[in-house]
Amino acid sequence: MMLVVDPASHVPPYEQVRAQIDTLVSQGGLVPGHRLPTVRRLAEDLGLAANTVARAYRELEQNGVVITRGRAGTFVALRGADREREARIAAGQFAQRVRELEVDPVRALDLAREALER
C-alpha cells in the first residue's frame, strides 16, 4: 500500500496524506491493527515536515480512523462494521471453546456477562 504526495498539488500535503490513509482504510487496503509508519519515518520518506504528517495522523485519530498506542505506534482502528465483524469472530471462538469444555450454554452466557461487567 503506497502513499503519494505531490507538492505541486493545490491540496495541502497533510490533507493528501490524511485522505489517502482514510481511503485505504475504508477500502480495506489497510486492515484494523495495521501499524502505520512513525510520523518521523513517513515525513522523511515523503520529504515533508514531521508536523505535516503529525497533523494528518491527528485528524485521522480524531475521526476514529487510527489509534495511537503511546510508544507502540499508530495503528488502524477498529470501527463500525470492522468492530461488529471482529466481535462476531470473537463470539464464535468463545462458543467453540464452550462446546469443547462441555459447559452449559446458559452458564457460559452468565460467565461471559460477568467477564464483560468486570
Partner 1 sequence: MQATAFLLIGFTVHAVIMIVLYSRGASRAARAHRFARTVDLALDETNEPAVTRRLARRERAGAIGVIVAVWSVAAWLYVGTDLFERITYAPFLVVAAVFAGHATGNGVVAWRESTRPTASAGPRIARASTPTHADYVPGYERWSTWVLAGASALLAAAAALVDRTGLLDLGEVPAGLLVLCGVVPAAVVVVDELLAHRLVQQRQVATTSLELAWDDALRARTLRDLTTLSLFVGAAGPVVLSGVISDGLEGGWPANPAVGVTLAVLPIILVAGAVMTVVSLVSNPQRHFRQRLWPAPVPADQAAQAGQAAHR
Cell of 3: 502513499
Reduce the DSSP state of residue 47 to 3 states and report it: coil
Minimal distance, residue 39 CB to partner 1, in Å: 12
Closest to partner 1 by CB, 50 vs 98, is: 50
Nearer to partner 1, 34 or 79 (CB): 34
End-to-end CA distance of the chain: 39
Nearer Cβ to partner 1, position 58 or 112?
58
The interface with partner 1 within residues 2-61 (CB under 8 A) comprises 2-11, 16, 19-21, 24, 29-30, 34-38, 41-42, 44-47
| Shortest Cβ 23–partner 1 spacing (Å) | 9
Give the C-alpha separation, 108 to 118, whole Å.
15
Distance CA 105, CA 99 (A): 8
The residues of the shown chain that bind partner 1, judged by CB under 8 A, are: 1-11, 16, 19-21, 24, 29-30, 34-38, 41-42, 44-47
